Structure formats: structure tokens, C-alpha cells
Structure 1
Amino acid sequence: MAMNLHLLRIFYTVAREGSFSRAAEALHISQPAVSKGVRELEHQLDVALIERAQRPGGRRAGVALTQIGEVLFEHARGLFALEKAAIDDIHARVGLRKGALVVGASTTIAGYWLAPYLALFADAWPDIAIEVRAGNTELVSRWLVDCEVDVALVEGSVADERLARDHWQDDALVMIGPPDWEQPSADASWLDILNRERWVMREPGSGTREATQRMMAALQIAPASLIEAGSNEAIARSVSCGAGLAIVPRVVAADLIELGRITLVEPPGIAPLSRPLFRLTHRDRPLSPAARRFVAFLDGSATQS
């Protein structure tokens, strides 16, 4: 059975937008045409794709997919992402534009590690337009799966089999406290002290959050309370104001340590902390010429010819 890709695109847009009306706007067709397209696809496949439950009072709830609808959405998501990738690659190869590169990066990488590579790349290839999109590891990975970025650099682990993960470099981490935090004596019960403290951490989905939780588990730290912050900079600033302790990248904390606004917390017998940074690419998407050149810069094997 051949699937009607036009109807599939309508269904995918409804699921992505979470609304028939927004899907109609995105596709530049009428809302009745969108509803009809979804019904026709369900008829062709002989399955229900969208739940049609009503809220009290007859108001329709937001779009919810059936179990089969969720499966089909994931297939459609990959299909249309690859369609976009193919169009982008063809445009680059036939010279319809001088070239473009979209890099997805976790927030720490975007803020502290990426700039030198971008500068070198821009000097070597000045006609290639560069865009950087920053987010946490989970969000950046999703962008790469959807082919919204060409290559990604992240801090956390990624389990999606559609993505290839290569070690890029290591990022040193430090444990920090407020400026007036006093180091306990060597014979003090460090574990009890650290467990009594409040800790400041990144949000779920962040590579820093994942690394922090992994290290705290290894050190048997189970904090009494937590504060979540949306960036490593926000964590460091919160710690400087007395919010609690934290584990952050050394590059984030360096200036505040030098200024005396935060202090290093150095429990005895703990080896230096670090976490790996990874370069991600899409297994089923060939790298564009611009992306191949940029990956060479990241790996230190670039030439400017």
C-alpha cells in the first residue's frame, strides 16, 4: 500500500502544531481541508490517528495522538527532516546559495568553547553564513534529529540511535560554594556536611545536570534540598549570593573565583572532576560541504583550501 505523502504532511503538521487551525496556517490551506486530509489518511490506513475527545461543555481539547498516531508521527518526523536535508544539500551543491552552516550547541559549549572554532571557520570560508542555536542537550539533539541543525556539540549522553556520537574534548568541573563558605577540617564528616547543604542544579535534560547527578551519586551525596536554574551562569551567580553549593564547568566559575565571589569546595580525596563533550551527527544525513569543513575544524584537521 502506497501512502499519500500529501496527507501524511497534513497529519504531521497537525501533530507538530498541536492544532488544526495552526496547521492550516502553516500549510496555507483552510482548516476544513486539514480536517478532511487527516480523515482521509485515517481511512486509507484504516486506523484512528487522533483522539477526538471532548472537554466538558463540548469544547474540543488540544490535539492528542493515538498510540498508532504517535508511531506514525515519529516516522513522518524523520521523513520530512530528511526531505529538508536533501533540499539543503542540493541547493549547496548546485550553487543556489554560497553556503550555510547551522550549529547546535549546549549552552556551555556555545558560550565558552565554540567561539574560537567559529572565528577560524569564518576567516577560512567568509562566504558561508553561520548560525548557532543554543539549548540544553535534549533540545539540541532533537534539532539534529529534525535536521534543523547540521552538526551538534553537547555535554550529556544521547541515546537516540539515529545520531552518531563522537568524543570531542573534556570539560573540567569544579564544586563551588558562597564566598563565606569555610572549608571543614580534614577529619570532619564531609559527606554529612555536603548532604546538609542546599544544592543548585540545571534543569532536567541538561548535560550539566546529568553530569552533576552522576558525580553526586558516585560521591554518595544526597542533598537535603535543590534549586533549579536555567543556565550555568545563573547557578554560579546564585551560589555567589548564598543559595547553596553546585558543580559547574570550571570555565563558567573561573572569573567569579578570581573575583572572590565564590569559593572552591575541595573535599579531601576526591579526584579532579570532568565530563566529556560530544560531537553529534545524523547517521542517515550526509554532511553538507559546509558541515564537513566545520567538522574538520573541530577535529583539528582543517585546511583552508
Structure 2
Amino acid sequence: MHYTLRQLEIFLAAAHFENITQAAKSLSMSQSAASDALRNLESQFNIQLFDRIGKSLQLNELGRMLRPRVEALIERARDLELDFQQHTDIGSLKVGATLSIGNYLAVSIMADFMQQHPGAKVSLEVANTTTIAGKVLNFELDVGLVEGEINHNELEVIPWRDDELKIFCAPDHPLAQKKLLDDEDLVRAHWILRERGSGTRQAFEWAMHGILPDLKVSIELQHTEAIKRAVEAKLGIGCLSRVTLVDAFKRGSLAPLEAPHRNFQRRFYFILHKEKYRSAGIDNWLELCPQLT
């Protein structure tokens, strides 16, 4: 074999940071040692994996083509190392989730997963759909749980569960007494919505086709709890996933509104890189999620 796993780790770190100094630091090695290892890897096969622009490294076409295969190989090697050490066959799992899923579903799933697999190490990153998809594509996350539809030829998108958006307002908002809204109500209202790039905003805009340009979006916020607080303060009406509103509706701090002529149904999805090695941890996670929700 004419390459080492360490050389491959350096290649992946350089691809991630696009800087050999940062790559070396992440691997706890000197910059010169990392540079030599990467240079030796390329010279051994008479190839070039990066375009070098000053101190910046950018993957060229060959590097981009090989990166998923290297990622899969390193992941397999790490799983094998864990088996040798007899810790667990699950290992570590890096999960990304959108805000609605991360704050209201994923934490309880993590708790059950770790209870079933005591030796597992699970990390959870919460961000919007666009960010989670980008990190899955960049192999920074093993699996993503998202609420927006994604079309990318490098991603595997697996339907998970149904969801529904709900319009809501403060209990003493004028629309609370009407409950059933028509398009005129929707256009007159002041809206407090999630930011663009979120799956919730994407689903809302699909539901509002035909009148979207006429809607008054007063405030855009990145967090569901901030939106609920703003709506409670009667700054406008909102639209979020039903799972984020169950407790507020029970307490009576927020009131549901209906627009039955608009379709607010949607789905949650798992996303994985098609070239990602499907470890035992990933397979167990994908099996567990539908059982718990």
C-alpha cells in the first residue's frame, strides 16, 4: 500500500480548512509535517489534489472526486479501531437537525438512543435547513434531520414523518375570535416568520402561493421561541410547525388559527451524503427515529 491513513486524514483536514496550518493544528501536528505528508501523497501517485493559491488550498476536480471515497475509508478505519478497542460497535455519531426538529424532537431521540447504546457518543448541531445540508455535503455531519425539501445529486433524501404548519396569534389578537381566515385576512395581517433558508419558511411560502408578494412580513427571526414571544406580544401573527406549538396551545398563551383553503402539510426528512459510509450508529439512528415519533 503506497499511502497511509495519516496522509488521508491530512488530505481531508486540508480539504475542510483550505489551509495547511489550520489542518495541521486540528491534527495536533506541525505545519511542516502536514505539508510534507500531503506533498508525499501527491508525488507518490504523480497527481495534484489541490490548487494552491497563496496560503489557500482549494480542491481541484480530482480532489473533489476522491474526497467522498477517502471520507468513507477513514470512517471505516475509525469504526474498526473502536471494535479493536472493544468499546462499542456504535462509536460516535454527529447529527444535525433544523430548529423545529432539534429543539422539540431530536433531544428526546438522543436520550433514547444513548440509553439503548450506553457506549455511544452523540453530538447534535441545530441550524436551519440550508446550513445542515451544507454540513452533510461537507462530511461535517453524519446525518441531517431537516424540514425542507432538498434536491442535490450528492445527497440521499429519505422521508421520515409527516408534519403540519399552524398559523397562530395571541389569545387577545383581533383574529383570535375569527379563527377561520380567508386570503383577505392573510394579506392584511402582519407576519412574524422564520428566516429565508429555513424549511419552515420554505413550506410557508409554498402554502401561500398566489398571495405571497402581497403578504406583510414585519419581522424575520431565526428561533421559534423568539417568534412565539413576539406573537404573544401582539406584534403580529406567526406560522410554525405544530410540534413547536403544542404546549403553548395547551397553556392558552397562543391561539391556533385556521386557513383550510391553504395546504400546510409537509414532511420531515433524513439526509445523508450518498458516499458516506453507513456505520452501525447511522443505521441504528435511522431505525430508531420512526419508532419514537
Scaled to the shorter chain, the TM-score interval is 0.7 to 0.9
Aligned to 1:254: 246
Match of 2:127 among 135, 139, 157: 135
8 Å Cα contact 2:170/2:234 also seen in 1 = yes
SS at match of 2:258: coil
8 Å Cα contact 1:51/1:63 also seen in 2 = yes
**Unmatched runs of 5 consecutive residues or more in structure 1:** 53-61
8 Å Cα contact 1:144/1:151 also seen in 2 = yes
**Unmatched runs of 5 consecutive residues or more in structure 2:** none
Do residues 297 (structure 1) and 288 (structure 2) align?
yes
8 Å Cα contact 2:176/2:255 also seen in 1 = no
CA distance in 2 between counterparts of 1:25 and 1:117 reads: 34
Instruction: Say if 1:275 and 1:48 are closer, same or farther in 2 by CA, change over 3 A.
Output: closer
Aligned to 2:266: 275
Aligned to 1:58: none
Query: Which deviations, in whole Å up to 9, do the C-alpha atoms of 1:12-69 show, x marking residues without a partner?
Result: 755643556534534533479859x78x97xx779993555xxxxxxxxx9596xxx5
How far residue 211 of structure 1 moved from its aligned partner, in angstroms, is 1.1
8 Å Cα contact 1:23/1:34 also seen in 2 = no
Q: Could you state the TM-score of these two structures normalised by the residue count of structure 1?
A: 0.73
Aligned to 1:81: 71
Query: Which deviations, in whole Å up to 9, do the C-alpha atoms of 1:262-291 show, x marking residues without a partner?
Result: 332323x42562210112233223321222
Instruction: Say if 1:24 and 1:148 are closer, same or farther in 2 by CA, change over 3 A.
Output: closer
CA distance in 2 between counterparts of 1:217 and 1:199 reads: 16
Instruction: Say if 1:31 and 1:199 are closer, same or farther in 2 by CA, change over 3 A.
Output: farther
Instruction: Say if 1:227 and 1:258 are closer, same or farther in 2 by CA, change over 3 A.
Output: same
Aligned to 1:107: 99
Aligned to 1:214: 206
CA distance in 1 between counterparts of 2:220 and 2:68 reads: 32
Aligned to 1:49: 51
Question: Quick check: 173-182 or 90-99, which moved more?
Answer: 90-99
Query: Which deviations, in whole Å up to 9, do the C-alpha atoms of 1:69-107 show, x marking residues without a partner?
Result: 565664465354334322233234444532324222222
RMSD over aligned Cα atoms: 4.0
Instruction: Say if 1:92 and 1:281 are closer, same or farther in 2 by CA, change over 3 A.
Output: farther
Q: Could you state the TM-score of these two structures normalised by the residue count of structure 2?
A: 0.75
Instruction: Say if 1:241 and 1:34 are closer, same or farther in 2 by CA, change over 3 A.
Output: farther
Query: Which deviations, in whole Å up to 9, do the C-alpha atoms of 1:173-199 show, x marking residues without a partner?
Result: 10122333223998x994344224332
8 Å Cα contact 1:184/1:190 also seen in 2 = no
Give the aligned length: 284
Paired residue type of 1:29? S
